[in-house]
């Protein structure tokens, strides 16, 4: 029989990992499943040997006492460090980064959890009073409670494949959530970039929305830049050859005098289909109890920042604890 204090969490980003940590601390049996080879979700980094680049979330801020408590511990453990207090002009508000890279927080949290990486699910169903998730290899995972932290379209696809029908009001709310895509270009250079200190420019435009120097940032020992494309450019080139996308964005960066195109040595391009929530759910989590205990969480719930995702995961975990206590 399935343990009534068991939970299955889909997604090993900060929402899923903090939720798992909170549930485990409160006596739950927790299993985390993620299709990626590593943990962290969009708190992602990649090696360009030699060199390293953060290619998802570039930093995070803190505004809530709850998240500040976690960040203070990570600062003490040197899992995160303060990067800067502004780009172009300081505003006194700390921007933190992972140490040595943005994946550090997720790797730290995952150490005490049962996390199945590189595990792709095909469907999630409800049977005999528990949730059952099936993998491409036919391996089942089961639990009394389910927490979905993957982008909403992916989560709904899994539930639909398993024949799970949510209450109409919940479905309408979830389908209102929308995301912008983003291309991330990582380029190792043979000479330093000309990106101004502290190593990033928040362009917030098209075709480039953000550009950062990972060496100045302190995560790479070689000149390595990350470029995030704007949503309009990304949609325009969504299915085009990645090398073309990388070339176009690097040419634009050179035209803005942020780098010398002749210094580009190695290029990798990643496509984030669900990079930035554009239409948010107005609450920290969405919970339904039909057909069974199910919570949705992530950066599409109330706040589209790293802190928002963290607080959403904690809120979802707390809701599952409250429901379990009522049984």
The answer on pLDDT for 1 being more than 60 is no
Candidates 3.40.50.920, 3.40.50.1980, 2.60.120.680, 3.90.660.10; correct CATH number of 179-278?
3.90.660.10
On whether the CB atoms of residues 45 and 102 are closer than 8 A, the answer is yes
In the prediction, which pLDDT does 167 show?
Answer: 96
> How does residue 88 score in pLDDT terms, banded at 50, 70 and 90?
confident
Domain 6-47+100-177+281-325 shares a fold with domain 179-278: no
Say what the pTM is: 0.96
What integer is the mean pLDDT of 150-154? Answer: 98
Rounded to an integer, what distance in angstroms lies between the CA atom of residue 24 and that of residue 212?
37
Rounded to an integer, what distance in angstroms lies between the CA atom of residue 289 and that of residue 201?
45
Which tens digit of pLDDT belongs to each residue from 23-69?
Answer: 999 999 999 999 999 999 999 999 998 999 999 999 999 999 999 99
Alpha carbon 226 to chain centroid, angstroms: 17
Which tens digit of pLDDT belongs to each residue from 216-255?
Answer: 999 999 999 999 999 999 999 999 999 999 999 999 999 9
Question: Which of 97, 113, 93, 119 lies closest to 38 in space, CA to CA?
Answer: 119
On whether the CB atoms of residues 131 and 31 are closer than 8 A, the answer is no
Which tens digit of pLDDT belongs to each residue from 268-321?
Answer: 999 999 999 999 999 999 999 999 999 999 999 999 999 999 999 999 999 999
On whether the CB atoms of residues 164 and 170 are closer than 8 A, the answer is no
Computed over every residue of the chain, the mean pLDDT equals 96
The answer on pLDDT for 322 being more than 90 is yes
Which tens digit of pLDDT belongs to each residue from 159-187?
Answer: 999 999 999 999 999 999 999 999 999 99
Which tens digit of pLDDT belongs to each residue from 90-118?
Answer: 777 899 999 999 999 999 999 999 999 99
The answer on pLDDT for 2 being more than 80 is no
Which tens digit of pLDDT belongs to each residue from 4-31?
Answer: 899 999 999 999 999 999 999 999 999 9
In the prediction, which pLDDT does 92 show?
Answer: 79
Q: Which two tokens stand for residue 43?
A: 């708190």
Compute the radius of gyration of the chain from its Cα atoms.
20
DSSP letter at 93? -
In the prediction, which pLDDT does 21 show?
Answer: 98
Domain boundaries, the chain: 6-47+100-177+281-325, 179-278
Backbone φ and ψ of 316, nearest 5°: -65, -45
> How does residue 327 score in pLDDT terms, banded at 50, 70 and 90?
low
In the prediction, which pLDDT does 325 show?
Answer: 72
Q: List, in sequence order, every beta strand (DSSP E) within the chain.
A: 6-10, 29-33, 45-47, 52-54, 80-84, 95-98, 115-116, 121-127, 130-135, 140-143, 145-148, 178-189, 200-202, 208-213, 224-229, 264-279, 286-288, 294-296
In the prediction, which pLDDT does 326 show?
Answer: 64
In the prediction, which pLDDT does 324 show?
Answer: 81
CATH number of 6-47+100-177+281-325: 3.50.50.60
In the prediction, which pLDDT does 119 show?
Answer: 97
Q: Which two tokens stand for residue 42?
A: 């969009």
- Look at strands 224-229 and 208-213 and give their pairing: antiparallel
Alpha-helical runs (H) found in 95-180: 104-110, 152-161, 168-176
């Amino acid at each position: 029989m399935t343990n009534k204090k068991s939970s299955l969490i889909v997604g090993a980003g900060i929402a899923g990992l903090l939720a798992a940590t909170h549930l485990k601390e409160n006596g739950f049996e927790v299993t985390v499943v993620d299709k990626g080879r590593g943990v962290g979700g969009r708190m992602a980094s990649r090696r360009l040997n030699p060199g390293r680049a953060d290619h998802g979330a570039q930093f995070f801020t803190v505004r809530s006492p709850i998240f500040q408590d976690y960040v203070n511990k990570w600062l003490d453990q040197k899992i995160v460090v303060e990067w800067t207090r502004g780009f172009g002009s300081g505003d006194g508000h700390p921007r933190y980064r992972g140490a040595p890279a943005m994946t550090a927080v997720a790797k730290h949290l995952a150490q005490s959890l049962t996390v199945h990486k590189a595990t792709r699910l095909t469907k999630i169903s409800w049977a005999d009073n528990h949730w059952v998730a099936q993998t491409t290899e036919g391996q089942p995972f089961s639990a009394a409670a389910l927490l979905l932290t993957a982008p909403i379209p992916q989560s709904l696809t899994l539930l639909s494949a398993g024949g799970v029908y949510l209450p109409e009001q919940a479905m309408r709310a979830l389908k209102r959530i929308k995301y912008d895509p983003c291309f991330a270009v990582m380029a190792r250079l043979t000479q330093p970039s000309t990106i101004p200190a502290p190593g990033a420019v928040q362009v917030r435009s098209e075709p480039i929305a953000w550009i950062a120097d990972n060496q100045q940032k302190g995560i790479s020992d070689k000149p390595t830049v990350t470029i995030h494309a704007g949503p309009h450019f990304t949609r325009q080139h969504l299915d085009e050859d990645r090398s073309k996308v990388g070339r176009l964005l690097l040419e634009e960066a050179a035209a803005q005098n942020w780098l010398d195109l002749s210094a580009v040595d190695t290029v990798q391009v990643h496509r984030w289909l669900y990079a930035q929530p554009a239409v948010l759910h107005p609450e920290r989590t969405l919970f339904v109890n039909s057909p069974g205990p199910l919570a949705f969480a992530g950066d599409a719930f109330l706040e589209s920042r790293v802190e928002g995702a963290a607080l959403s995961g904690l809120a979802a975990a707390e809701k599952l604890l409250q429901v379990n206590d009522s049984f």
